[in-house]
């Protein structure tokens, strides 16, 4: 699928695959200055070092390429601009998206185009556009999210171009005090008081179960059904819901001028628990390293309880919101993989927390 964007060439050489052509993650310009800036934009220092080692071992396998003419025409860039673009390839699968980072005349990042080559990936991009259009109306955070520049589509691709943020990487511990004001502002700008049964998250969780039930193992089907029965106990209670980013993690934000700049909103939804993004910010960095422990939940719930006063009154208890968050993440992973992924490390860790919810609910 990545080959839809470039062709091998021996004449008009502008790019090479990195770290190697067998398992490429990037299409980098032969201009080393731009290539290094592109890698710095996408990768943390430790990741850049790892990729560089892999690149060195494949030094004799280097081949050269250029961006396809129809791709350049589609996103509206000249040959000169294309020569200084960095392409990052997304994870293979039905939701695969690629990004094209463009640089200005001073060789600084100027904009980024997201390209979807599958129907499901196109739906994600369209959802991101919908959310960014809403966020553009929020005076408190509209300068902390990307601005849509243009969108376009044809029979091969769907894409949109957005502004980029330039800043420093985020640490969950060091920059936690920056995350809370953003989450609070997002909540205050988008909240609605409705019953749980009227909310988007309630409907999504139930719809996913109907789809996944025939695909799940007996253990997971039993677990999911029990979780829904627990949630049903609260379905008539009115509470406050708001927009959630749903992947509010350090890899989707930077620190720009002392404020968060948050990007990658394709998974965002309206009418979600206000503390959802807070839980994700605290738990997901541990989950991807397979380091979540039961004792972490008490710490997370204490943080959520301490910060509950920063939100509108009548938000649901943190325990209820955490329960919804854990089930939403698990069911999303399972749904995205057509029922597979039941042994995924994140799904396993979150499932264990759900199974032991009586200890913290």
Instruction: Enter the tokens of residue 57.
Output: 């071992």
User: pLDDT tens, 233-249?
Assistant: 999 999 999 999 999 99
pLDDT of residue 223: 97
pLDDT of residue 86: 97
Where is 113: in which H helix or E strand?
strand 109-116
Architecture of domain 176-359: Alpha-Beta Complex (3.90)
pLDDT of residue 2: 59
> What is the radius of gyration, based on Cα positions, of the chain?
22
For the entire predicted model, the pTM comes to 0.93
User: pLDDT tens, 141-153?
Assistant: 999 999 999 999 8
pLDDT-based confidence at residue 59 (cuts at 50, 70, 90)? low
pLDDT, average across residues 24-50? 92
* Residue spans of alpha helices (H) in 20-143: 32-42, 45-57, 69-75, 79-83, 119-135
Q: How far apart are CA 85 and CA 313, in angstroms?
A: 47
Domains of the chain by residue range: 2-163, 176-359
Q: Please tell me the least confidently modeled range out of 96-100, 257-261, 310-314.
A: 310-314
Q: Answer whether residue 258 shows pLDDT above 60.
A: yes
Q: How far apart are CA 303 and CA 308, in angstroms?
A: 9
User: pLDDT tens, 338-360?
Assistant: 888 778 999 999 999 999 999 99
Percentage of the chain modeled with pLDDT above 90: 73
Whether the CB-CB separation of 144 and 252 falls below 8 Å is answered with: no
pLDDT-based confidence at residue 68 (cuts at 50, 70, 90)? very high
CA-based nearest residue to 308, from 294, 322, 297 = 322
Q: Please tell me the least confidently modeled range out of 8-12, 115-119, 121-125, 259-263.
A: 8-12
CA-based nearest residue to 301, from 325, 318, 289 = 318
Contacts of 345 (CB under 8 A, 6+ apart): 287, 288, 290
| Mean of the per-residue pLDDT values of the chain | 92
Q: Answer whether residue 117 shows pLDDT above 90.
A: no
pLDDT of residue 10: 81
Q: Are strands 158-163 and 269-272 parallel, antiparallel or unpaired?
A: unpaired
- CATH number of 2-163: 3.90.1150.10, 3.30.360.10, 3.40.50.2300, 3.30.200.20? 3.30.200.20
pLDDT, average across residues 84-108? 92
pLDDT of residue 307: 84
User: pLDDT tens, 288-339?
Assistant: 999 998 889 999 999 999 887 677 777 889 999 999 999 999 999 999 988 8
pLDDT, average across residues 27-34? 95
Q: Answer whether residue 228 shows pLDDT above 60.
A: yes
Q: Answer whether residue 58 shows pLDDT above 80.
A: no
pLDDT of residue 60: 54
């Amino acid at each position: 699928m990545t080959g839809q964007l470039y062709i091998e060439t021996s004449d008009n050489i502008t790019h090479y695959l990195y770290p190697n052509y067998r398992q490429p993650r990037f299409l980098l310009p032969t201009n080393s200055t731009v290539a290094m800036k592109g890698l710095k934009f996408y990768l943390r220092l430790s990741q850049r070092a790892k990729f560089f080692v892999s690149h060195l071992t494949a030094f004799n396998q280097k081949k050269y390429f250029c961006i396809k003419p129809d791709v350049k025409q589609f996103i509206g860039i000249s040959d000169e601009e294309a020569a200084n673009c960095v392409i990052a390839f997304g994870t293979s699968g039905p939701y695969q998206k690629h990004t094209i980072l463009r640089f200005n005349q001073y060789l600084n990042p100027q904009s980024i185009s997201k390209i979807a080559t599958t129907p499901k990936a196109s739906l994600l991009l369209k959802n991101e556009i919908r959310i960014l259009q809403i966020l553009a109306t929020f005076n408190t955070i509209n300068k902390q999210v990307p601005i849509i520049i243009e969108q376009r589509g044809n029979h091969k691709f769907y894409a949109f171009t957005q502004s980029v943020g330039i800043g420093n990487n985020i640490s969950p511990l060091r920059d936690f005090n920056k995350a809370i004001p953003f989450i609070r502002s997002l909540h205050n700008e988008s909240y609605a008081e409705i019953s749980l049964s009227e909310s988007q998250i309630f409907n999504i969780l139930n719809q996913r179960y109907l789809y996944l039930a025939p695909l799940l193992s007996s253990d997971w089907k039993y677990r999911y059904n029990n979780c829904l029965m627990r949630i049903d106990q609260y379905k008539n209670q009115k509470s406050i819901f708001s927009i959630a980013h749903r992947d509010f993690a350090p890899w989707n934000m930077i620190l720009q001028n002392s404020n968060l700049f948050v990007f990658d909103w394709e998974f965002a939804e309206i009418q979600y628990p206000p503390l959802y993004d807070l839980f994700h910010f605290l738990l997901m960095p541990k989950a991807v390293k397979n380091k979540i422990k039961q004792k972490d939940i008490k710490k997370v719930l204490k943080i959520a309880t301490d910060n509950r006063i920063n939100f509108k009154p009548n938000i649901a208890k943190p325990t209820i919101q955490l329960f919804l968050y854990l089930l939403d993440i698990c069911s999303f992973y399972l749904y995205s993989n057509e029922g597979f992924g039941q042994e995924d490390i994140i799904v396993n860790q979150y499932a264990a927390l759900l199974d032991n919810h009586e200890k913290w609910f």
